[in-house]
Structure 1
Amino acid sequence: MGIRRSILTRVRIAFACVVIYAIIIFVKVFDIQFVNGEKWRRIARENGLQYREVEATRGNILSDNGSLLATSLPFYEVAFDPTVAQDEVFDKGIDSLSVLLAGFFKEKTADEYSRELREARNNNRKYKVLSVEPVSYQEKKILSQWPIFKEGRSKGGVIFDSRERRFMPFDALARRTIGFTWKDTAGTTKGRGLEFSFNKDLAGVNGQALYQRLSGGRWSPLIDQDHTSSENGYDIQTTLDVELQEFCTNTLKNSLYRHWANYGSVIVMEVETGEIKAMVNLGKNAQAEYVENYNYAVGSQGVAEPGSTFKLASMMALLEETKISVNDTVDTGEGTYEFYEDCQMRDAALYGYGRISVQSVFEKSSNIGISKLVFQHFNDKPEKFLRYLESFGLTESLNFQMKGEGLPFISKPGGETWSGCSLPWMSIGYELKMSPLQILTFFNAVANQGILLKPRLVKKVIDGNKTVRSYDREVLNKKVCSDRTLSILQKMLIGVVERGTAKGIKSEEYKIAGKTGTTQKLRNGQYTQSYYTSFAGYFPADKPKYSCIVVIDNPTNAGKYGGEVAAPIFRQISDMLYVKRVYKEMEHQPVLATEEPALPVIRSGNFYDLKVLADKLGLKHMPMNTNAWVHTQLKNDTIQWVDNRLEEGSVPDVRGMTLRDAMYLLENRGLKVKVFGNGRVVRQSLNPGTRIKKGYQIYISLES
């Protein structure tokens, strides 16, 4: 019983001690935090101690196939605390270290480094910056093996102060789409593009660590002190195709220099998904170079009067509202038409088009024809015309994934800008403003059987192999118009390229559907001789895969209309995509009809070269040709040489030829040649016999 009482007494005493100790700790914490908190904070400030943010590693921005578009790479400011190392280590290594520093950074001589570091040690200076330029991670590893530095931070005094820099592996490619961020004087994050729009995902969560203030106002983290770890940012995967982005950039840049325009923009969208595969924006800088200086495709500076590309919306409203037929006629007169006094409409044709069909009105882009039809059917109910535009997705923002989207502007009845001229002028793309992205989204709906999709630039947000959030196809309107209207409009758009204002880009290989646009720019209330040109469309027209818009602002050389400035860029892009992404097997002419494995494959080329080859191989052959370029046919065991007729000014048939022969023929005809693959030519983007126009580009695919 006595033993039990003794144990209980001891337990009670121990418990009382724990309670008293806990009370003391609580009181002490309360005293430090609240009673004498300001005193200790003042001491910390005097000693230069402060908890500071440790920035998280920013997430990557990826292309559609996972290629890096933007990433954060670690760089290091190299500093040295010369007071840390033991005398023996310092004295033995300082001269060798100084020589290495001088040779690596090339900012000071070895003697200067040696003298400054010895002085810093004698003056007890604990933070000496060794170079104004930071070093990379690989360079850091090299420096870490140098004398004194190899002892580490705690014994050698070397300090590698980490700094992260945003790096774009493809340089300026899609720079304004990728974007950037910065912090203003108040510490608020600002920026542009995807970097800013998805900053919350990319930035991660910053941590905290205890820092000590050093001379010169620098802060150095204290080793082995308590800290809160940072959480790295997520990656975002975009829909951008790097190869296509680069091709569109180079094509647009070449055209901008040729036309010496203010700026230009290209957007390529996948019809069925709304995914943006390329978005290029090039403007002229102070050095007269074209660079990605603003996102004209999306932002407010790119919002402009679209001109005749808007006629697609006017025609859609007319077809939905009325029973007009493409064969109905409109009297466009002699090139001018007056709706009211001081409200005169003009056509591009000097003496007008006369009476033409509705189909021709659209193909020729007759301002008078379109405006008369819209005025006739909507003048007493302009609100209904605007309701149609609303259902087409043209009156409100797209709520795009990228911040800074320019808002559309449309005059409205009763508003300050509304007048008797408003409806006719709106019908041809004036007195309203839209971004290229908004116009393309509408054209894409026509290509996509009336389904209006929200454009998509980011597929998903990812954390390693885990998908944090995905962005799927989003339908804004299941059907912007009836099937009848769609069918008519699709034929009209093909007609523009086949016979109308864009017939210069007609392809014999595949059909293009689209509409040109040319707008006279307004300055001080007057229309000037400055133009905003565009072409919007899709291809292949029979089974659309891609839609695209090209805009060129104020071309001053070599043309001023959309059909001669913007449309050729569209054609070069569509050719590239057709060959590399959409190509359907062409019906090959018979080039070698043989199943005999014993005969080598001699397909097509220069007759004299092929004859020498056949002779050396001991092959029987006989001529059926009259010129130097031939195809081959097999009759029994004999090769027959068949004329490959090459008409002057037309595209030659180079299928079956070696690359050398094909390049010789094509380039001698003034064609610009783009080659894909190895071996012999198996397909070409321009059909044999197509008339060649200046600046045409041809794509040839080779296979072994």
Structure 2
Amino acid sequence: MWRKRAIGWLIISITGLLLLLGRLMQIQLIETETFSKHNINLLEESVKQRTQELVIDNGRGNFLDRSGAMLTHKKVAVLVLFPFLKKMEWEADQVSNISGIPVSTLKMAVEGAKKPFAYGEPEPYELTSSQMERINRLKIPGVFAIEKKFERSQVPAEQLIGLTGENSKELMKRYPNKELSEKTLIGVSGLEESFDEFLLPEGKSKLVYHVDGGGAPLFGINVRYVDPANPFYPVNIRTTLDKTLQQRVEELVDHYQIKKGGLVLLNIKDNSVLSLVSRPTINKNDPYNGAGMTNMMLKQQIMGSVFKTVVAAAAIDHNLDDPKRLFDCSKKINGKPELTYNYGMLDFTNSFARSCNRTFGELATELQKINPNLLEDYAEKLSLTGSVGWQGDIYHTNNFKQLSEEDKGRVFLSEDAKKDANFAAMTGIGQHEVRATPLAVANMMATIARGGEKEMVRAVSKIEYKNGTTMVNFQEQSLQGDNISPYTAMKLQRLLREVVLNPDGTGRWFKELPYAVAGKSGTAETGKYQDGKQLHNKWFAGYFPYDNPKYALVAVNLDVLDSEGGVNLLFADIVKMLYENDNGMQ
């Protein structure tokens, strides 16, 4: 009996040892880099237990403005202190004399440290280049003055540039053939997402030292600098934004309390984004949820009377703009008396300047009878209904889109709506099913200012290697499809200028600005209500200077009451600011 028991225990012991041996082989040999369902890299984790490090640069590519200034991050000269200093005597008084930080404060910071840190984080104490040089000359182990990359607390054009985050599942889905740490940051919105593959890190730059179980230096007090040492990576994405201008424009948008909406400012010469502001802002406490994640300037909006520009273009080409013809602007589109905006009898030009709904409802109906597709055709000619952001083949990527989140606009949703006279009339004033993005509206103004030539809008001009050489150039490109004629563009230019020059024009507030403005206003009913009152989208879209166009600007305030939330003061202040900036007055 005892013999059977002994054999049984022996079998159990051998089985246990075999299981233990198998587990050890799994850990030590087989699944060293992908242990358990969480895919834990055991080699990395074991190294982490024996090392402490300070990341200087996470290795992800950077976003620059058009002049090369960093947008999302900044490099700051900081004092780095390692926690092993608490176990040794070090010349804190000399560091204090150079940096201006009290000795007691330095020592207190080290005593409370469990890992290397930049003094003063999260708002680091900034050193001068002279202080950096003098501190490093002391050659105190565990004390370094270095340039470290910090994320800006306020990122300019945050919705355009976008956000990054950790998502191991999405990382594996996007890059199944790349060996990347599950902690690798990936772009989740905006340009960060569009350019994510180019921005992926080769590795981090960091200061590293090895420790024993008590946290003391394992190999003396030598600190190693670890760097991928690749002269080409990480790359820089050079945007077309002007950082200083962007910051000023954001201040103005907030000054005028735009809660939902924003603006787009284009450089007409190369059709690039100088500034883009979207509100609401991203919620820093919960960035991936809420309306702040949406770039309102890339989303289709109800545009109201701004669409009359399209109707005017079609009317000009089909000889419906006879200056002798008068329209009864004492009536609404449906023929009922117009009590609020009773303008009497107006010709085509004055109807456009004063934004008479009756005129453009009639014209849209007449155009529909000629051809139900005309309004859509002219919206396409003026770049309102397709994507306007830069797209094309680059590097090893086909049909790459800079603005992957951009909506397309529309005029009608169905064939039946095109053929309905009542729907056509409402479409003529930018209501019913008409939608366009503020970016596309800005591009329409730039197209008209250029004489009808429509181009793709660039938000990025190039991708640069780390050493400054060019990896990818985003050349100016025309938008496909038909254009309006130079003659039609010239007539539209005059109509848009008349909106400002006419004593009763909807843009008369801009007549005295230092730059001559041409443009079109819009107030669209949204179908939404607040306390029983209709909410509106308020627009002004234009370009300037009129005789030598440089800028196209669209400002829009979304879902506001008719009695509030105008954009005229915002538009005017930006025109003034640009004039002063261009003439060295700031």
TM-score w.r.t. structure 2 length?
A: 0.70
User: CA distance change for structure 1 residues 215 and 501 in 2, over 3 Å: closer, same or farther?
Assistant: farther
Aligned equivalents of 1:47, 1:520: Cα separation in 2: 58
Q: How big is the shift at 1:449?
A: 0.4
What is the aligned counterpart of 1:515 among 509, 517, 520? 520
Q: How big is the shift at 1:197?
A: 3.3
Aligned equivalents of 1:526, 1:573: Cα separation in 2: 33
**Equivalent position of 1:597 in the other structure:** none
Q: How big is the shift at 1:551?
A: 1.2
1:275 counterpart letter in structure 2 = S
1:676 and 2:581 correspond: no
**Equivalent position of 2:73 in the other structure:** 71
**Equivalent position of 1:324 in the other structure:** 320
**Equivalent position of 1:445 in the other structure:** 447
Query: Structure 1 unaligned runs (5+)?
Result: 1-32, 118-126, 339-343, 584-674, 678-704
**Equivalent position of 1:641 in the other structure:** none
**Equivalent position of 1:205 in the other structure:** 202
SS of the residue 2:256 aligns to: helix
1:367 and 2:368 correspond: no
**Equivalent position of 1:29 in the other structure:** none
**Equivalent position of 2:163 in the other structure:** 180
Identical pairs, percent: 20
1:389 counterpart letter in structure 2 = A
2:434 counterpart letter in structure 1 = L
Aligned equivalents of 1:46, 1:488: Cα separation in 2: 68
**Equivalent position of 2:20 in the other structure:** none
The answer to whether the 8 A contact 2:314-2:367 is kept is: no
Q: Deviations over 1:576-632 (max 9, x none)?
A: 334543x7xxxxxxxxxxxxxxxxxxxxxxxxxxxxxxxxxxxxxxxxxxxxxxxxx
The answer to whether the 8 A contact 1:538-1:545 is kept is: yes
**Equivalent position of 2:178 in the other structure:** none
Segment of structure 1 superposing worse, 131-140 or 548-557:
131-140
What is the aligned counterpart of 1:472 among 471, 475, 500? 475
The answer to whether the 8 A contact 1:60-1:68 is kept is: yes
Aligned equivalents of 1:411, 1:285: Cα separation in 2: 32
TM-score w.r.t. structure 1 length?
A: 0.59
1:387 and 2:296 correspond: no
**Equivalent position of 1:601 in the other structure:** none
1:248 counterpart letter in structure 2 = V
Q: How big is the shift at 1:497?
A: 0.9
The answer to whether the 8 A contact 2:528-2:535 is kept is: no
Q: Deviations over 1:1-30 (max 9, x none)?
A: xxxxxxxxxxxxxxxxxxxxxxxxxxxxxx
User: CA distance change for structure 1 residues 214 and 129 in 2, over 3 Å: closer, same or farther?
Assistant: farther
**Equivalent position of 1:38 in the other structure:** 30
Aligned equivalents of 1:368, 1:676: Cα separation in 2: 44
Equivalent residues in 2 for 1:399-438 (5 A)?
A: 399-400=389-390, 401-414=402-415, 421-430=422-431, 431-438=433-440
1:48 and 2:46 correspond: yes
1:166 and 2:151 correspond: yes
Q: How big is the shift at 1:441?
A: 0.4
The answer to whether the 8 A contact 2:91-2:140 is kept is: no
Q: How big is the shift at 1:314?
A: 1.5
Q: How big is the shift at 1:416?
A: 9.1
Q: How big is the shift at 1:152?
A: 2.8
**Equivalent position of 2:176 in the other structure:** none
**Equivalent position of 1:20 in the other structure:** none
2:167 counterpart letter in structure 1 = D
User: CA distance change for structure 1 residues 501 and 403 in 2, over 3 Å: closer, same or farther?
Assistant: same
The answer to whether the 8 A contact 1:409-1:432 is kept is: yes
User: CA distance change for structure 1 residues 203 and 356 in 2, over 3 Å: closer, same or farther?
Assistant: same
Q: Deviations over 1:185-234 (max 9, x none)?
A: 644613344444334434442269999898699x9999779996566312
What is the aligned counterpart of 1:358 among 332, 348, 362? 348
Q: How many residues align?
A: 506
Q: Deviations over 1:478-504 (max 9, x none)?
A: 862123322221111111111111112
Equivalent residues in 2 for 1:210-359 (5 A)?
A: 229=229, 232-256=233-257, 261-283=258-280, 293=292, 296-300=295-299, 303-320=300-317, 322-332=318-328, 334-338=330-334, 350=340, 352-359=342-349
SS of the residue 1:369 aligns to: helix
For the aligned residue pairs, the C-alpha RMSD in angstroms reads 5.1
Segment of structure 1 superposing worse, 405-414 or 129-138:
129-138
The answer to whether the 8 A contact 1:346-1:368 is kept is: no
Q: Deviations over 1:11-58 (max 9, x none)?
A: xxxxxxxxxxxxxxxxxxxxxx99x93398899769924799987534
What is the aligned counterpart of 2:549 among 527, 544, 556? 544
2:331 counterpart letter in structure 1 = G
**Equivalent position of 2:558 in the other structure:** 553
The answer to whether the 8 A contact 2:363-2:428 is kept is: no
Aligned equivalents of 2:103, 2:417: Cα separation in 1: 68
1:497 and 2:500 correspond: yes
SS of the residue 1:316 aligns to: helix
**Equivalent position of 2:568 in the other structure:** 567
Aligned equivalents of 1:177, 1:281: Cα separation in 2: 8
Aligned equivalents of 1:443, 1:533: Cα separation in 2: 17
| Higher relative contact order, chain-length normalized (CA < 8 Å, sep 6+) | 2
1:362 counterpart letter in structure 2 = F
User: CA distance change for structure 1 residues 129 and 454 in 2, over 3 Å: closer, same or farther?
Assistant: closer
SS of the residue 1:165 aligns to: strand
1:166 counterpart letter in structure 2 = E
The answer to whether the 8 A contact 1:49-1:211 is kept is: no
The answer to whether the 8 A contact 2:64-2:70 is kept is: yes
SS of the residue 2:188 aligns to: strand
SS of the residue 1:152 aligns to: coil
**Equivalent position of 1:152 in the other structure:** 141
Q: How big is the shift at 1:369?
A: 0.9
The answer to whether the 8 A contact 2:66-2:238 is kept is: yes
Q: How big is the shift at 1:165?
A: 2.3
User: CA distance change for structure 1 residues 465 and 515 in 2, over 3 Å: closer, same or farther?
Assistant: same
User: CA distance change for structure 1 residues 58 and 137 in 2, over 3 Å: closer, same or farther?
Assistant: farther
User: CA distance change for structure 1 residues 77 and 299 in 2, over 3 Å: closer, same or farther?
Assistant: farther
User: CA distance change for structure 1 residues 425 and 94 in 2, over 3 Å: closer, same or farther?
Assistant: same
Aligned equivalents of 1:511, 1:334: Cα separation in 2: 31
Q: Deviations over 1:523-551 (max 9, x none)?
A: 28999432211111112222322221111
The answer to whether the 8 A contact 2:497-2:519 is kept is: yes
Q: How big is the shift at 1:266?
A: 2.3
The structure in which a higher percent of residues are strand is 1
User: CA distance change for structure 1 residues 216 and 197 in 2, over 3 Å: closer, same or farther?
Assistant: farther
